[in-house]
A and B are shown apart, each in its own frame.
Chain A
Amino acid sequence: MSSLRPWQELSPGGTIRPTDAEKPKTGSWRTGIKPLADLSKCTNCLLCWLYCPDSAILIEETTFVGFDDYFCKGCEVCAAVCPVGAIEMVPEETETPERWVMRSDESGS
């Protein structure tokens, strides 16, 4: 953690801008499972992005491209809301990229 700031440097009432805080690595205390997407099933409806309580769904423009393990807490909400069953929760040890860089063209679409 960076050094703590004095009261004069805090915004009134503690309003936070995205640039105010260091990125909290919420993925460091993940539940032991993480999401894996089958992009051949994905319809790019972005419900996972809408429902994710953190910032773990990676999109480029309006296209789903994967998950950010840095933020993913393993809550399973994305898997629960996916209308086509494209997201599966897999054990932590499963090999997936630290930060997904899968492109839509890799899924053949």
Chain B
Amino acid sequence: MAVKTQEGAQLLTGGEAVAYAMAQIDPDVFPVYPITPQTPIIQTFAKLVANGKATTEIVNVESEHSAMSATIGSALAGARSMTATSSQGLALMAEMVYIAAGMRTPIVMAVGNRALSAPLNIHCDHSDSMMIRDSGVIQLFAESVQEAYDLMVMATRIAEHPDVMLPVLVCQDGFTLTHSEEPLVLTPDEVVKDFAGEYKVPLPLLDVEEVTTKGIFALQDYYTELRYQMNAAMEAAETVIADVFDEYSPLVDRPFGLLEEYELEGAEKVVFLMGSTAGTIKDVVDALRSEGQKVGLLRLISYRPFPAEAIRGALASAQEVIVLDRSDAPGAVPSLHAEMAAALYGSNVKLRAHVFGLGGRELVPDEARAIFAGEAPTHVALRS
């Protein structure tokens, strides 16, 4: 098959690609701890800094808990700060992720999604991101290396918007994207630099002219109000993300959205999922369409904020939606299933859901066909 390559495209892994985006933005501080499959991000970025492509202070910390702590501290002090992690690293970081969001810290984090232990597994699923789903961080999921790169370029603008001021996680599937080379076009350095602009955080800790206290104590009198603020910030983020996407899109001539609608025109059965598996589903949608079946794909990019209204709109003419969660929720239903059920409550769209791809298990085209046909088990490809 002839592959059409975009002009100026080069081959990079997802890990390398987000590291290039970071180097182009040139943040002030990058506290980080290595973990598979995030390691190529820190390796590539460290090489870029060593070669003078960025002037970032890389802080080699003793754990991910410290990585996030240092990132919060430097970001609130007034320095643009980023970090990166995966799986157990994100689990260890989780305490500080809640604090980062609660203190409204505009940091950017690259995530290579990986299954959580036990049993020990280094491959992709989304259970690490799901663990912090209610922390108040924005989570954007890429399908491709190009999209991971572009989301990384745009992430600081979203995080640092005065109406938002929340951490932004740019999530890509571990190994499938982090370690796989795909052709992508890098945006010119000066375009990225201009787009990212200068870092401004209101009331930085190092401003001696206007001294402030951060990390306050709030009890029955103010805790509810301060946590509630994040609802307003997330609501604003939905608009800000769309605005930032719209501003960046013409610079690179690629479309962006909180959702991607693939073959939804007249689609009766629609698969709903996040991440790189969308590529497989698209191939199967194409094949089924050529066989005359009215099927489509709705891919979620912005997991948090969850664009429920837009999802309802996109599915207005669908008869059935099939949610594919790449994480499990023993004793309940996984996140996308629950969110979709809430979004569709009161509508006539039928809902079906599956768990797939745990610990890196592939979802092959035949299984995707079985999913569309209603013949797949609840846990796709489970041996029983």
Contact = CB atoms under 8 A, between A and B. Distances in A.
A16 B216 contact: yes
A18 B203 CA distance: 12
B212 A17 contact: yes
Contacts of B105: 13
B213 A16 contact: yes
B203 A11 contact: yes
Given A13-B103, A13-B229, 8 more contacts: A5-B225, A7-B228, A10-B229, A13-B105, A13-B226, A16-B212, A16-B213, A17-B212
Contacts of A14: 103, 214, 216, 218, 222, 226
A11 B201 CA distance: 12
A62 interface: no
A15 interface: yes
Contacts of B213: 15-16
B212 A4 contact: no
A10 B228 CA distance: 11
Contacts of A16: 212-214, 216
B210 interface: yes
A12 interface: yes
Contacts of B104: 12-13
A18 B213 CA distance: 8
A49 to B, nearest CB: 16
A6 B165 CA distance: 19
Interface string A10-51: 111111111000000000000000000000000000000000
Contact of A15 (B212, B225, B232): B212
B291 interface: no
Interface residues of B, number: 22
Interface in B213-265: 213-214, 216, 218, 221-222, 225-226, 228-229, 232-233
12 contacts: A4-B222, A7-B225, A7-B228, A12-B202, A13-B214, A14-B216, A15-B202, A15-B203, A15-B212, A15-B213, A16-B213, A17-B203
B210 to A, nearest CB: 7
A26 to B, nearest CB: 14
A10 B225 CA distance: 8
Interface of A: 4-8, 10-18
Interface of B: 102-105, 165, 202-203, 210-214, 216, 218, 221-222, 225-226, 228-229, 232-233
A41 B212 CA distance: 35
Given A7-B232, A12-B104, A17 B165 contact: no
B312 to A, nearest CB: 27
A10 B212 contact: no
A104 B211 CA distance: 29
A14 B214 CA distance: 7
A6 B222 CA distance: 9
Contacts of A4: 221-222
A10 B214 contact: no
Given A7-B225, A10-B226, A15 B211 contact: no
B225 A6 contact: yes
A10 B222 contact: yes
A18 B233 CA distance: 25
Contacts of A6: 225
Contacts of B211: 17-18
Nearest to A12: B104
B212 to A, nearest CB: 5
Given A13-B104, A13-B165, A7 B226 contact: yes
A24 to B, nearest CB: 12
Contacts of A7: 225-226, 228-229, 232
B175 to A, nearest CB: 35
B218 to A, nearest CB: 6
Contacts of B102: 13
Nearest to B228: A7
B18 to A, nearest CB: 26
B228 A12 contact: no
Contacts of B221: 4
Contact of A12 (B165, B210, B218, B222): B165
